């Protein structure tokens, strides 16, 4: 075989390897990303698109009031440091989960809010999925509605990302299913009467009809694990933050839709 | 949490019907659910909701567990004078909620 | 077998029923208009008690719900009554009844003062696939009614959170 042919084969093999490696890491190429709202029925879409009747705004409005309410030993409100949340929080939610040196780890938005409470306000942290935490979380996330997810997995965030990636692709539970099997390989197909989405978290915190309430992405991940009869990590567990980071990276480019509405 | 969100048009022409939308934060607990220990969660739904326009009842609703949580209502009222829309509701546990909105009639 | 007076009693509708039962109809549901005449209102004991022997006329009431609910916990519902109205014929109340919920009296909407547009939207809970009936009461005691049918499915995955 001529050296040209050999070189061609080598280039071909290396390119194929690069493509496969890229494909394995980024399992959904960007042009194919679809928000969960595109898999939802007409009623869910109508609820999400109407800010008056979207129940999530009950939490957003509650969060706005709480933002301006003094709390803790310092008697400071969020506004005391951050001013008007409508401008200061713009874009913030698109960067979470993120690594912070202060805790030498990756935090999701809810953890970061709680850290502000304990460190800056001298107030006890709110419980995960509590009305208060969901309200501030919804208010902050709403300020980034329409902006594209843009998390970083560089440097110290990489470990958490790798763990989340592994969790997402591993089989779990009695049904022995991985997230990837449904949401990468079978999205668009029906599970009983539902359409499987691509499993992005860009609409959270979201009002889920099944919950009759607003809830976090972590709650939604736990619900999925329950569905496949797997052990659910406790709310706030590091595994859930790792998966959130992986999901946010996987969905980057999609706009935030909080407060979303989902089935 | 706000008790409710009320939405009316910014200004309404006199004599014409205008749209009122209200969503109330309430679980509308059916009484058919059980908690993790298997204990039944008692029913607690908003039983009655009343809308007063400058003191006069213009719309009221009697609800049940057949109405979804965080009940949403949209209805129409004839515009008369500018003033106040006042909502009041009561649930099975006797808890009362109120909220209001200002109305500008052109 | 079909019940006398039901929508499917007529021989020409039997093939339609078989096709509906095959499930293929599910895909076309959004385009099949929901419709029921007065004599096709479902038998709901609570509604029978409410009617107290009166027969509602199946006119002017528009009851709209999705053919297939995204989630039975929250199903959008719109009910309206076509005008025009006079003081004697204005709508004083609309009652909603459920065929299959544990509580059949879903809601009553009262209109104590005249308004020319009778239209109410809300969100209902449906325990299972079923028919819903709206009965409008007029000032002179006349009754108007309409029914709508909704299919409710269970979630693809259980949620225990």
- Residue spans per domain, chain C: 1-32, 33-150
C51 vs chain A: nearest CA distance in angstroms?
32
Question: By CB neighbour count within 10 A (0-12 exposed, 13-18 middle, 19+ buried), where does A105 fall?
Answer: middle
Is A224 annotated as catalytic?
Answer: yes
List the subunits that have 3+ CB pairs under 8 angstroms with C.
A, B
Per-residue pLDDT of chain A (263 residues; tens, 9 = 90+): 667 777 666 655 555 544 444 444 555 665 689 999 999 999 999 999 999 999 999 999 999 999 999 999 999 999 999 999 999 999 999 999 999 999 999 999 999 999 999 999 999 999 999 999 999 999 999 999 999 999 999 999 999 999 999 999 999 999 999 999 999 999 999 988 889 999 999 999 999 999 999 999 999 999 999 999 999 999 999 999 999 999 999 998 899 999 999 99
User: Of C75, C115, C125, which is closest to B77 when you measure between CB atoms?
Assistant: C115
Put simply, the answer to whether A131 touches B70 (Cβ < 8 Å) is no
In degrees and rounded to multiples of 5, residue C77 shows phi and psi of -135, 135
> Is the predicted pLDDT of residue B96 greater than 60, yes or no?
yes
Asked if A27 and A250 touch (Cβ cutoff 8 Å), the reply is yes
ipTM over 0.90: yes
Domain ranges within chain A, ordered by starting residue: 31-51+148-262, 57-142
Give the pLDDT band (50/70/90) at residue C12.
Answer: very low
Token pair 């190429």 is found at A29
C159 vs chain A: nearest CA distance in angstroms?
5
User: Which architecture does CATH list for B4-103?
Assistant: Sandwich (2.60)
Interface subset of A 153-192, CB within 8 angstroms of B: none
Domain ranges within chain B, ordered by starting residue: 4-103
A168-172, C8-12, C145-149, range with the lowest pLDDT: C8-12
DSSP annotation of C33: P
Put simply, the answer to whether A41 touches C66 (Cβ < 8 Å) is yes
User: Of A41, A47, A222, which is closest to C161 when you measure between CB atoms?
Assistant: A222
> How much is the pLDDT for A33?
93
CATH entry 3.40.190.10 includes domain C33-150: no
Put simply, the answer to whether A213 touches B68 (Cβ < 8 Å) is no
Is the CB of B73 inside 8 Å of chain A's CB atoms? no
> How much is the pLDDT for A30?
52
Is the CB of A65 inside 8 Å of chain B's CB atoms? yes
Put simply, the answer to whether A44 touches C70 (Cβ < 8 Å) is yes
Give the pLDDT mean for C39-56: 93
> How much is the pLDDT for A19?
45
Put simply, the answer to whether A194 touches C159 (Cβ < 8 Å) is no
3-state secondary structure of C122: strand
Residues of chain C neighbouring B58 (CB-CB closer than 8 A): 111-113, 115
pLDDT tens digits along B22-41: 999 999 999 999 888 999 99
Residues of chain C neighbouring A46 (CB-CB closer than 8 A): 76
User: Of B59, B61, B77, which is closest to C107 when you measure between CB atoms?
Assistant: B61
> How much is the pLDDT for A193?
81
B13 vs chain C: nearest CA distance in angstroms?
14
Put simply, the answer to whether A42 touches C66 (Cβ < 8 Å) is yes
Taking CA–CA distances from B31, the nearest residue in chain C reads C102
A220 vs chain B: nearest CA distance in angstroms?
18
Put simply, the answer to whether C108 touches B32 (Cβ < 8 Å) is no
> Is the predicted pLDDT of residue C7 greater than 50, yes or no?
no
Taking CA–CA distances from A232, the nearest residue in chain C reads C161
Residue A94 tokens, joined: 């698109």
Higher-pLDDT residue of A135 and C154 is: A135
In degrees and rounded to multiples of 5, residue A250 shows phi and psi of -65, -30
> How much is the pLDDT for C97?
98
* C-alpha closest to that of A69 among A142, A157, A135, A17: A135
Residues of chain A neighbouring B68 (CB-CB closer than 8 A): 212
Matching CATH number, A31-51+148-262, of 1.10.760.10, 3.10.20.90, 3.30.1330.20, 3.60.20.10: 1.10.760.10
Q: What is the per-residue DSSP string for C95-106?
A: EEEESSSSS-EE
Asked if A164 and A245 touch (Cβ cutoff 8 Å), the reply is yes
Taking CA–CA distances from C66, the nearest residue in chain A reads A43
Query: Which residues are CB-contacts of B24 (< 8 A; sequence separation ≥ 6)?
Result: B3, B4, B46, B49, B70, B71, B87, B89, B97
pLDDT tens digits along C102-116: 999 999 999 999 999
Using DSSP bridges, classify how beta strands B72-78 and B17-24 pair: parallel, antiparallel or unpaired. antiparallel
Asked if A92 and A83 touch (Cβ cutoff 8 Å), the reply is no
3-state secondary structure of C70: coil
Query: What does the H/E/C string look like for chain A?
Result: CCHHHHHHHHHHHHHHHHHHHHHHHCCCCHHHCCCHHHHCCHHHHHHHHCCCCCCHHHHHHHHHHHHCCCECCCCECHHHHHCCHHHHCCCHHHHCCEEECCCCEEECHHHHHHHHHHHHHCCCCCCCCCHHHHHHHHHHHHCCCCCECCCCCCHHHHHHHHHHHHHHHCCECCCCECHHHHHCCCCCCEECCEECCCCCCCCCCEEECCCCEEECHHHHHHHHHHHCCCCCCCCCCHHHHHHHHHHHHHCECEECCCCEEEC
> How much is the pLDDT for C155?
77
Higher-pLDDT residue of B71 and A28 is: B71
> Is the predicted pLDDT of residue C15 greater than 90, yes or no?
no
- pTM equals 0.87
Taking CA–CA distances from B79, the nearest residue in chain C reads C115
> How much is the pLDDT for A191?
87
Residues of chain C neighbouring A219 (CB-CB closer than 8 A): 161
In degrees and rounded to multiples of 5, residue C129 shows phi and psi of -60, 135
Asked if A12 and A18 touch (Cβ cutoff 8 Å), the reply is no
Put simply, the answer to whether A210 touches C159 (Cβ < 8 Å) is yes
Put simply, the answer to whether A52 touches B27 (Cβ < 8 Å) is no
Strand order in the sheet with B17-24: B4-7, B17-24, B72-78, C118-124, C75-81, C61-64
What residues are paired with B56 via a beta bridge?
B53
Give the pLDDT mean for B41-60: 97
Residues of chain C neighbouring B67 (CB-CB closer than 8 A): 106-107, 122-125
How many CB pairs below 8 A link B and C? 88
Separation of alpha carbons A33 and A200, rounded Å: 9
Ordered alpha helix ranges (H), chain C: 14-21, 45-51
> Is the predicted pLDDT of residue C36 greater than 70, yes or no?
no
Put simply, the answer to whether A41 touches C76 (Cβ < 8 Å) is no
Question: By CB neighbour count within 10 A (0-12 exposed, 13-18 middle, 19+ buried), where does C156 fall?
Answer: middle
pLDDT above 70 covers what percent of chain C? 76
Give the pLDDT band (50/70/90) at residue C37.
Answer: very low
Query: Which residues are CB-contacts of A37 (< 8 A; sequence separation ≥ 6)?
Result: A44, A45, A48, A203, A257, A260
> How much is the pLDDT for C20?
47
Taking CA–CA distances from B68, the nearest residue in chain A reads A212
Separation of alpha carbons C132 and C130, rounded Å: 7
Is the alpha carbon torsion for A205, A206, A208, A214 positive or negative?
positive
> How much is the pLDDT for B23?
98
What residues are paired with B40 via a beta bridge?
B34
User: Of B21, B23, B68, which is closest to A58 when you measure between CB atoms?
Assistant: B23
> Is the predicted pLDDT of residue C38 greater than 60, yes or no?
no
The class of domain A57-142 in CATH terms is: mainly alpha
User: Of A191, A215, A226, which is closest to C160 when you measure between CB atoms?
Assistant: A226
DSSP annotation of C14: H
Asked if C124 and B68 touch (Cβ cutoff 8 Å), the reply is yes
Put simply, the answer to whether C116 touches B77 (Cβ < 8 Å) is no
* C-alpha closest to that of B71 among B33, B42, B28: B28
User: Of C96, C105, C123, which is closest to B72 when you measure between CB atoms?
Assistant: C123
């Amino acid at each position: 075989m001529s050296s040209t042919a050999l070189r061609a084969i080598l280039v071909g093999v290396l390119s194929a390897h690069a493509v496969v490696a890229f494909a394995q890491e980024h399992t959904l190429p960007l042009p194919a990303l679809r928000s969960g709202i595109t898999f939802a029925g007409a009623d869910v879409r109508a609820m999400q698109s109407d800010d008056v009747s979207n129940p999530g705004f009950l939490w957003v409005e509650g969060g706005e009031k709480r933002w301006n309410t003094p709390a803790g030993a310092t008697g400071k409100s969020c506004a005391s440091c951050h001013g008007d949340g409508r401008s200061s929080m713009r874009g913030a939610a698109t960067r979470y989960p993120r690594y912070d040196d202060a805790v030498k780890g990756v935090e999701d938005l809810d953890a970061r809010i709680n850290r502000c409470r304990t460190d800056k306000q001298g107030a006890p942290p709110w419980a995960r999925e509590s009305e208060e935490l969901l309200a501030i979380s919804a208010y902050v996330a709403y300020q980034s509605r329409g902006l594209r997810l843009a998390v970083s997995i560089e440097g110290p965030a990489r470990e958490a990302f790798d763990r989340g990636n592994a969790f997402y692709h591993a089989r779990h539970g009695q049904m022995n299913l991985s997230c990837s099997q449904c949401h990468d390989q079978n999205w668009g197909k029906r599970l009983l009467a539902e359409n499987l989405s691509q499993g992005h978290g860009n609409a959270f915190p979201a009002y889920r009809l099944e919950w009759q309430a607003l809830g976090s992405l972590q709650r939604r991940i736990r619900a999925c694990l329950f569905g496949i009869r797997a052990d659910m990590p406790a709310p706030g567990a590091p595994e859930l933050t790792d998966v959130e980071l992986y999901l946010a990276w996987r969905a980057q480019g999609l706009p935030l839709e909080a407060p979303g509405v989902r089935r | 949490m706000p008790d409710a969100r009320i939405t009316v048009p910014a200004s309404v022409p006199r004599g014409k019907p205008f749209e009122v939308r209200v969503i109330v934060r309430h679980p509308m607990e059916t009484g058919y659910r059980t908690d993790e220990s298997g204990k039944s969660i008692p029913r607690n739904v908003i039983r009655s909701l009343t809308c007063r326009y400058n003191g006069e009842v213009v719309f009221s609703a009697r609800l049940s567990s057949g109405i979804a949580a965080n009940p949403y209502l949209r209805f129409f009222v004839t515009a008369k004078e500018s003033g106040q829309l006042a909502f009041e509701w009561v649930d099975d546990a006797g808890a009362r909620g109120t909220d209001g909105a200002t109305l500008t009639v052109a | 077998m079909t019940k006398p007076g039901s929508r499917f009693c007529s021989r020409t509708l039997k093939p339609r029923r078989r096709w509906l039962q095959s499930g293929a109809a599910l895909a076309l549901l959004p385009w099949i208009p929901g419709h029921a005449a007065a004599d096709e209102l479902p038998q709901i004991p609570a509604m029978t008690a409410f009617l107290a022997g009166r027969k509602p006329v199946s006119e002017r009431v528009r009851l709209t719900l999705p053919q297939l609910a995204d989630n039975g916990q929250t199903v959008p519902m719109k009910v309206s009554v076509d005008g025009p109205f006079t003081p004697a014929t204005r709508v004083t109340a609309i009652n909603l009844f459920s065929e299959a919920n544990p509580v059949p009296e879903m809601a009553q909407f009262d209109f104590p003062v005249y308004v020319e547009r009778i239209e109410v939207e809300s969100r209902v809970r449906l325990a299972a696939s079923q028919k819903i009936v709206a009965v409008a009461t007029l000032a002179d005691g006349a009754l108007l009614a309409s029914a709508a049918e909704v299919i409710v499915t269970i979630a693809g995955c259980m949620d225990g959170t």
